[in-house]
Amino acid sequence: MPKIRGLIIIGSVIALFLALFFFVQFAGFLFDIQQKYAESPTWLIVLYIGGVAIIALLGLILIYKLAKFGTSRQKESTLRPREVFDDDSFNAKIQVLQAKGADTDDIEADWKNLLSMREKEAVTIALFGEINAGKSSLIQALTGKTTGVSARGGQTRIISHYPLTYNQRRYELIDMPGLNEVGETEVSEALIHAEAVKSHLVVWLLDEEMTQSAYDHYHYLKTFDKPIIVAINKADYYSDSERLQIGERIQTRLQATVPVVWIRSATTKVVERHHEDGRIDSSEVTTAADISALISAVESLTFDRLTLDNRLNDSYFRQLEMQMDKSLSVARQARAEQIVKSYSQKAIFAGMAAVGPGTDVLLQGYLGMGMAKQLCAVYDVDVKAVDLEGTLAMLNDKMKKELAVILALAGNVLKAFPGVGTVAGGLAHAVAYGLIFESVGKAMTACLEKYNGINQTQLANELQGQINEHLEERAVSLAKAIIFKKQ
């Protein structure tokens, strides 16, 4: 820090002297001009000053243009949807995933679904919201079709699609179960999210202010840049001032300019009339639905179909990429588990041949080096970028401290097997080395999965958690495998 402070002081002094030098030079230049043109006509002085001002102004404009050059294009490029896959590039990605053992059936099905959606004329609108928000009532108001509305709510048990034509434009409404009832339906929350992401537009239906759960779902959808309309039902329950305040609070909570509209689904009320003779008549009064504000917002957001399709492609591809990443992660974890299991078994066999702690497998480094290299290959990490020798040395030091405890645990576990003995045939060392390699392998896998590399500090932290996780249960499992295999 003192060295840096000294450099800053020296730089400041140099800058000060340069500023004084240029000021003196410029002042001298002005005095020379004044003496030279002191006796010249006024018009010549004005012409001279005007010319200098124009040239200076043009210079400033040029500097500004050069400074801003490329900025507008860069902004425009960030607003464009990401480059879409074509059949060849998509198939190439699928082949890479399949070569690594990833399951791609769902991804390929979604790709075919996107291709079919590109041919559809209808704009897809997902109705999103919690139970009893009025999604089914809204469907009835828009389409005139009965969807099984009930006073207790939560009647939508599956995802349903309803075609709709309005002002000569075709739409497809997607009615989904309420977000807070997915556990009681055949539809998972992940599937509801996927349907919303794969639609052109999301209508978020509320019947009150937005809850924390609703906000979390909203935030998830916004990561896909989905066009969203917040529609608040039961507009007739609130005054104008209350509606304004609720709308402002929602906008503030969302921290975004999202259309917030008020609607009223059709409702039926029982009205009682009391007569003078004591008779009471009851009748049902139906209040017509008012969804005009929502329709206007939908038409406004779906007017530019090209932009809408581009945004759909963008969100769809984000979803596909997430599916690809997840599928690859599952395949990698499965392969890594096989590698760790294989090297743990090798460590067990080496432990059975050991004559004491001095023959520690990690000290030899052979098995640890091989396991690390194979795990790096699974996660496409350049093994040259990993300090394997330093990492294995760190693990060796750490495991030396843990070995006594693990050996003691292995000995206690083996006491539960009559006639085996605590150290007969090196079984205690076999169990201990199996536990060590299993823990190290899982810790390496976790580092590669989370950080795409193996850092000694991160590995030590992961190992600390792995070595203590269900240690006794794992020791019993390994002991059984060794004993029964020997028998």
Of 179, 242, 248, 259, residue with least CA distance to 211: 179
pLDDT tens figures, 457-479: 888 888 888 887 777 778 777 77
Of 92, 119, 78, residue with least CA distance to 324: 92
Strands 228-232 and 201-206: parallel
Q: Are residues 329 and 272 in the same domain?
A: no
In the structure, how many helices (H) and strands (E) does the chain have?
17, 8
Burial status of residue 33 (CB atoms within 10 A of its CB: 0-12, 13-18, 19 or more): middle
Of 223, 200, 226, residue with least CA distance to 305: 200
Residues belonging to the chain: 487
Task: Indicate whether 282 belongs to any domain.
Answer: yes
Q: Are residues 431 and 389 in the same domain?
A: yes
Of 271, 435, 246, residue with least CA distance to 340: 435
Least confident of 16-30, 101-115, 375-389, 438-452: 16-30
Give percent helix, percent strand, percent coil of the chain, each to the nearest 5: 65, 10, 25
Q: Are residues 151 and 253 in the same domain?
A: yes
Task: Look up the domain containing 438 and give its range.
Answer: 325-486
For residues 256 and 230, is the Cβ–Cβ distance under 8 A? no
pLDDT tens figures, 396-425: 788 777 777 777 777 777 766 665 554 444
The model's confidence at residue 353, banded by pLDDT at 50, 70 and 90, is low
The model's confidence at residue 187, banded by pLDDT at 50, 70 and 90, is low
Q: Are residues 296 and 398 in the same domain?
A: no
Q: Are residues 292 and 359 in the same domain?
A: no
Cα–Cα dist 149/134, whole Å? 9
Strands 160-166 and 201-206: unpaired
Radius of gyration of the chain (CA): 36
Higher pLDDT, 10 or 296: 296
Task: Indicate whether 5 belongs to any domain.
Answer: no
Model confidence at 109: pLDDT above 70: yes
For residues 483 and 431, is the Cβ–Cβ distance under 8 A? no
Higher pLDDT, 315 or 67: 315
Q: Which of 254, 271, 303 is the last residue of a domain?
A: 303
Q: Could you please report the per-residue DSSP string of 360-374? A: -HHHH-HHHHHHHHH
pLDDT tens figures, 36-74: 666 667 776 677 777 777 877 776 776 666 555 444 443
* Mean pLDDT value across residues 184-200: 75
171 strand-pairing partners? 123, 164
Mean pLDDT of the chain: 77
pLDDT tens figures, 232-255: 887 878 888 888 888 888 888 887
Q: Are residues 295 and 439 in the same domain?
A: no
Task: Indicate whether 51 belongs to any domain.
Answer: yes
For residues 160 and 132, is the Cβ–Cβ distance under 8 A? no
Q: Are residues 285 and 338 in the same domain?
A: no
Task: Indicate whether 40 belongs to any domain.
Answer: yes
Q: Which two tokens stand for residue 23?
A: 């000021």
Cα–Cα dist 155/165, whole Å? 25
Predicted TM-score of the model (pTM):
0.63
DSSP summary character for residue 183: G
Q: Are residues 280 and 350 in the same domain?
A: no
Q: Which of 240, 273, 303 is the last residue of a domain?
A: 303
Cα–Cα dist 265/142, whole Å? 10
Q: Which of 303, 337, 370 is the last residue of a domain?
A: 303
**pLDDT given at position 64:** 66
- Distances from the Cα of 122 to the Cα of 37, 78, 118, 285, 364, angstroms: 77, 28, 10, 36, 66
- Distances from the Cα of 78 to the Cα of 25, 66, 68, 81, 255, angstroms: 46, 21, 16, 8, 21
Cα–Cα dist 87/79, whole Å? 24
Q: Which two tokens stand for residue 402?
A: 């843990």
Contact partners, residue 421, CB within 8 Å, separation at least 6 = 414, 427
Phi, psi of 126 (to 5 degrees): -90, 130
Of 190, 189, 260, 201, residue with least CA distance to 226: 201
Task: Indicate whether 372 belongs to any domain.
Answer: yes
Cα–Cα dist 53/354, whole Å? 90
**pLDDT given at position 285:** 65
Cα–Cα dist 437/344, whole Å? 5
Task: Indicate whether 192 belongs to any domain.
Answer: yes
Task: Indicate whether 221 belongs to any domain.
Answer: yes
Q: Are residues 341 and 436 in the same domain?
A: yes
Q: Are residues 293 and 337 in the same domain?
A: no
Q: Are residues 126 and 272 in the same domain?
A: yes
Phi, psi of 276 (to 5 degrees): -65, -30
131: CATH? 3.40.50.300
Task: Indicate whether 96 belongs to any domain.
Answer: no
Number of domains within the chain: 3
Q: Are residues 283 and 337 in the same domain?
A: no
